[in-house]
Amino acid sequence: MVTLRPMKQYEFTIFFENEVKEFAEWMTKAYKLPPKRALDIAKEQLSYKYKDGINTKNQYIYTIEDKHQQKIGVVSYSIQKDEQSAWLDTIEIDQPHRQQGYGKQVLALIESKIKQHHVNHIILHVYKNNKIAQTLYKNSGYQIVSHIMTKQLS
């Protein structure tokens, strides 16, 4: 059994740093950007997205805890009321706790919370090489609606 609790400020600092790092790494791979440029872009975009930290309007950021109230991951989503949608921004189970069914439990909890916002659908992005997450989402009823494709020009 897992529970979600609103993230505390000190946890957000770590969460934000990790989000920036992972986003920059993805941009370096996907868009062949130099690491420093990717890091600058990631910081800029995520600083805007989370401009008020844990108090950013329409952003919901949680620490995932197990039955012993130990942190096992993080999850965040945002609500776009004008589009009647929610973006599942992050769902990350810490490495030692993966492959134990926590992701499925968290997804069910998040979907329940998102339904309370009266939106029509959930959108998410999953990295191409994250086959485990892709399987989780597919088995939970999510469908692929687009692909991002790139081509390196000489």
**Residue spans per domain, the chain:** 3-139
28-78, pLDDT tens digit by residue?
988 889 999 999 999 999 999 999 999 999 999 999 999 999 999 999 999
Average pLDDT, the chain: 94
Fold of 3-139: Aminopeptidase (3.40.630)
Percent of the chain with pLDDT over 70: 100
| Amino acid, single-letter form, for residue 19 | E
CB atoms within 10 A of CB 50: 21
Q: Which of 152, 148, 144, 88 has its CA nearest to residue 119?
A: 88
Higher per-residue confidence, 101 vs 151: 101
Q: What is the pTM of this model?
A: 0.90
| Residues 50 and 16 sit within 8 Å (Cβ to Cβ) | yes
Query: Residue 114: in which H helix or E strand, if any?
Result: helix 102-115
**pLDDT value at residue 148:** 79
- Say how far residue 49 (Cα) sits from the centre of its chain: 12
Q: How large is the average pLDDT for residues 98-121? A: 95
What token pair was written down for 90?
Answer: 């992050």
